[in-house]
Amino acid sequence: MVKTILPLEISNASVRRRGKTLVGPVDLILAEKGFTTVIGPNGAGKTTLLRMMHGIERLSQGTVTWHGPNAEVRGRQAFVFQSPIMMRRSVRDNLTYPLTLGKTPKTEARQQAEDWAERINLKSALNRKATVLSGGERQKLAIARALIRKPDILFLDEPCSHLDGRATREIEELLQGAHEKGIRIIMSTHDMGQAKRLASEVVFILKGRIHEFSPADAFFDTPGTNEAKAFLSGDILE
Amino acid sequence: MTELFEGLKAAFLLLVRLDADLVEITLRSLQVTLSALVIASAIALPLGAILAVRRFRFRRATIAVLNALMGLPPVVVGLCVYVMFSRSGPFGVLGLLFTPTAMIIAQVIIIVPLIASIAHQSLRDLWAEYHDLLISLNTTQRQRIATLLWDGRRALLTASLAGFGRAIGEVGAIMVVGGNIDHATRVLTTAIALETGKGNFALALGLGFILIALAIAVNFAIHWLTRTEVEGRW
């Protein structure tokens, strides 16, 4: 078993559907450590880029290469979707599900589920159905379910897009905690404030092409492209 | 109208007296139908899940055929099973014709497409909901199917109950393969057909009411045992 599946190398990768290029060609190397935010306007290809990296979007060309054997790679990544997918089970069973796939003993899985439920303030809801939780609670549960397997890398697709300030803060704290524990995070967001608060580096994507990939401070202080400048100043990019 | 009241009266009297013949054919009806239901569900529910999850060459054609087979004429199924199990047929040596086993086989053939089709419809929707998550979690085909069957169990219960409804009221096929032999293969539906043929409408209606009551009781029992509609929003 390799120590980490990072760095991630994307080489000349594109995703085309029905003759239209959604993303690419993309060349990108993501290092072992860091908190990357992917920003760009609606329809720029943020979600497709994340899905492409995670391997749930079929490539039309190019390669996405992880540092490790294929059999191991997928199991060491986790993905949190924009609309959290809640299994029709209790909060506890949603949390234990990824562990039971990995043959973790039932008692250990339940213990870990309880620990995580406490961390996300859902301990009192352990036996409630996950589908009746509020939007913020669902997203926290989805993140906890992703983190419970201790992934090397966590992808998040606009995890706070439908949430209020308080829920957003709770999720940011959760993500910062995960990042401090060494989990590599790649997150798409619309929220520039959130990107500034969390990111160590920024990928700016427009019309499926990466226009900028730079440290967060440099990107926000002195964006290198006119498109990035326009985006940061709030212009509508066509 | 008088005959309906006579029928109700007959049903009431049969139940109060706990008529031995009635008990026997009722138990046989339940035995045949529930056995067929368990076997058919064991085949049809995983089949519905496989059709929802797996992509293979003739998948759409398979689904279309399965849907078409929902309307399979029972009497034709009965005839086919009869031919297969008759003395000169390929399975004649088993000597199953005119036994409850042959009736169960016929009912399984009739209800498998029905249960599989309904199961596939509901699991297809659940798969659409879970697809990204289960792919992301790197689950195997077997794990995906098991997850869908478990999480979709309440919808699958409805599929199985639809199969039960079709099987318990079935008469054409089991009349052909069972032969309606007294104390051997007579069940409620074939008894109703026999009494109607004899012009004994009150008794036929009485048996009919008992059949309806039995179907409702089994449905209630299954719902109660599985706690459907008790908890949660699904």
- B127 close to A (CB below 8 A): no
Q: Which residue is it, tokens 């294929």?
A: A70
Chain-centroid distance of CA B232 in Å reads: 28
Q: Which amino acid is at B99?
A: T
**How far A196 CA lies from chain B's nearest CA (Å)?**
28
Beta bridge partners of A184: A153
Say whether pLDDT at B230 is over 60: no
Beta bridge partners of A129: A90
pLDDT digits (tens, 9 = 90+) for B25-71: 899 999 999 999 999 999 999 999 999 999 988 999 999 999 999 98
- Which CATH number do you get for residue B47? 1.10.3720.10
- CB < 8 Å to B157, chain A: none
Element (H, E) at A166: helix A165-180
Say whether pLDDT at B109 is over 70: yes
Name the least confident of A8-12, A178-182, A232-236: A232-236
Which of A5, A10, A94 has the alpha carbon at shortest distance from A50? A10
Question: Which member of A89, A101, A132 has the closest CB to residue B137?
Answer: A101
pLDDT of residue B151: 94
pLDDT of residue B234: 43
Domains and CATH numbers, chain A: 8-86+133-232 (3.40.50.300)
Q: Which residue is it, tokens 């391997």?
A: A55
CB-based contact A88 B132, cutoff 8 Å: no
Q: Which amino acid is at B186?
A: R
- A82 close to B (CB below 8 A): no
pLDDT band at A1 (very low <50, low <70, confident <90, very high): low
pLDDT digits (tens, 9 = 90+) for B66-80: 999 998 899 999 999
User: For an interface test with A, which of B130, B138, B142, B154 has the most A Cβ atoms less than 10 Å from its Cβ?
Assistant: B138
Name the least confident of A143-152, A224-233, B105-114, B160-169: A224-233
CB-based contact B138 A75, cutoff 8 Å: yes
Element (H, E) at A14: strand A8-17
- CB < 8 Å to A89, chain B: 151
- The domain in which residue B147 lies consists of 2-15+27-226
What's the order of all strands across the beta sheet hosting A153-157? A77-80, A153-157, A184-188, A35-39, A201-206, A209-215
Say whether pLDDT at A2 is over 80: no
Distances (CA, A) of B109 to B47, B66, B115: 14, 12, 11
- CB < 8 Å to A48, chain B: none
The pTM (predicted TM-score) of the whole model is: 0.86
At how many degrees (to 10) do helices B201-226 and B20-53 cross? 50
pLDDT of residue B227: 67
Q: Which residue is it, tokens 């992509």?
A: B55
Domain-located, residue B22:
no
CB-based contact A85 B129, cutoff 8 Å: yes
Number of domains in chain B: 1
pLDDT of residue B228: 61
ipTM of the predicted structure? 0.88
Report the C-alpha gap between B187 and B180 in whole angstroms.
Answer: 7
Domain-located, residue B232:
no
Say whether pLDDT at B229 is over 60: no
What is the pLDDT averaged over residues A65-87?
87
pLDDT of residue A42: 87
- Give the percent of chain B with pLDDT over 70: 96
**Cβ atoms of A37 and A202 closer than 8 Å:** yes
- Give the percent of chain B with pLDDT over 90: 67
Q: Which amino acid is at B112?
A: V
Report the C-alpha gap between B163 and B81 in whole angstroms.
Answer: 19
Element (H, E) at A217: helix A216-221
Say whether pLDDT at B148 is over 60: yes
Domain-located, residue B165:
yes
Report the C-alpha gap between A110 and A39 in whole angstroms.
Answer: 37
CB pairs < 8 Å spanning A and B: 42
pLDDT of residue A33: 87
Domain-located, residue B58:
yes
Which of B96, B108, B109, B110 has the alpha carbon at shortest distance from B179? B96
What is the pLDDT averaged over residues A4-20?
89
What is the pLDDT averaged over residues B1-19?
77
Say whether pLDDT at B223 is over 90: no
Domain-located, residue B234:
no
At how many degrees (to 10) do helices B20-53 and B59-69 cross? 160
CA nearest to A88 within chain B: B151
pLDDT band at A69 (very low <50, low <70, confident <90, very high): confident
pLDDT of residue A237: 66
Say whether pLDDT at A51 is over 70: yes
**Cβ atoms of A54 and A155 closer than 8 Å:** yes
For B75, phi and psi rounded to 5 degrees? Answer: -65, -30
**Cβ atoms of B130 and B147 closer than 8 Å:** yes
Report the C-alpha gap between A58 and B140 in whole angstroms.
Answer: 18
pLDDT of residue A74: 82
User: For an interface test with B, which of A58, A86, A88 has the most B Cβ atoms less than 10 Å from its Cβ?
Assistant: A88
Helix boundaries (H) for chain B? 2-17, 20-53, 59-69, 74-85, 100-136, 141-151, 153-168, 172-178, 188-197, 201-226
